[in-house]
Amino acid sequence: MPRRCTALRAAAHAEPVLEAPAPRVAAPEGLDVRVRLAEGWARVVANDVSVDGFFAAWDGALPPLAARLGVELSFAGRTVTCEGDVVRHVTGDEARTWGVAAGAFIHFAEPAPALRQWVAWMLEEGRRPEPRPDGELARLLARAAEAAKDPYVLLGARPDADFEEIRRRASAALRRLEGFRARPLPSGQRRALEALRGRVESARCTLGEPLSRAGFDAVRGNLPGLARCVEAGLPDEEVEPLRHAFLSARPGSEARARALFTQGHALEAQRALRAALSRYANALALDPLNVSWLRHYQELRQRAQGLTPSMPPVPHEGTMPPSALLP
């Protein structure tokens, strides 16, 4: 039998420091633990954390004894990764007897001094009183909460902003948030900060790439934003699946839109450009992902400079919304 396998089996039946009648010592507030299973990374609730390992509460089938798992521990903005061996199970029957969760004790596999130092630091930090909430961050989080569902407002970008501006504003927002990560923060604020960073990343992904922005702006009826996507070279064949899904969810919209566009075409032929633009805008409100219509509409708007067609309302059109994250 290979030496490593023998060592793991011995560890599984040894009496390690982690072995305890029942895992009851809560982990430091703010510690996030994930383990890597065959199906991917899974977040677990950790107890009885020490420089040797931890107890992981587990829903479902427990990993086998002597299994070696990837482990990721995050605390106060710092993350370490390592490997751990499953050395003991707490079965469902034991858990019910002890009044605790089922799970497994995991020993760090061959922990380096740096890992032990990190865990010791984390445990020491976890015993200290929580720092006071950061006032500046609290105000920023409150503003960001008001923009919870609008990535344009979150970034302070107009609906017709070009892609360079979207990316610039997202990068500036992330830099500002990064400055808070080094400050002493209570765990609740730190979690809120990380969640906000995730929302900014999501806003950058949603608005900073033509195809995803087209899908988002179609639902909003944001024709200026869709025009930016077309200007960026968005191919018709990439948009068509989005358009099909959009129209399928709105039965009858395509037929009504086609009738309006046909009326607009007739009005354009009569050189009634203001009325034609209004019909085209109303048609695009029903079928906003019709790229050929959108191109024609934009071209006519450019030729008819000075004319202001009646357009469907677009949030923040003509104004720069205040950013939730930037001064």
Which pLDDT band, with edges at 50, 70 and 90, does 30 fall under? confident
Which CATH fold topology does 3-127 show? Thrombin, subunit H (2.40.10)
Short-list 171, 8, 172, CA closest to 83: 8
* 7: confidence class by pLDDT, cuts 50, 70, 90: very low
Please state the domain extents for the chain. 3-127, 222-303
Q: How many residues does the chain have?
A: 327
Of 54, 24, 195, 43, which is closest to residue 123 (Cα–Cα)? 54
How many CB atoms are closer than 10 A to CB 255?
12
Better pLDDT: 116 or 38: 116
- Give the span between the Cα atoms of 286 and 258, in whole angstroms: 9
Report how far apart, in Å, the C-alpha atoms of 119 and of each of 64, 72, 87, 224 are: 25, 12, 19, 52
Tens of pLDDT, residues 254-278: 999 999 999 999 999 999 999 999 9
Angle at 50 between CA 49 and CA 52, to 5 degrees: 120
Q: What is the pLDDT of residues 85-115, one digit of tens each?
A: 999 999 888 888 888 889 999 999 988 899 9
- Provide, rounded to the nearest whole percent, the portion of the chain with pLDDT above 70: 87
Helix (H, G, I), strand (E, B) or coil at 106: strand
Q: Is the pLDDT of residue 306 over 80?
A: no
pLDDT, the chain, mean: 85
Cα distance between residue 152 and residue 216, in whole Å: 11
Q: Report yes or no on whether pTM surpasses 0.85.
A: no
Tokens of 156: 């302070």
Model confidence pLDDT, tens digit, residues 147-169:
878 999 999 999 999 999 999 99
Which pLDDT does position 257 carry in this prediction?
Answer: 95
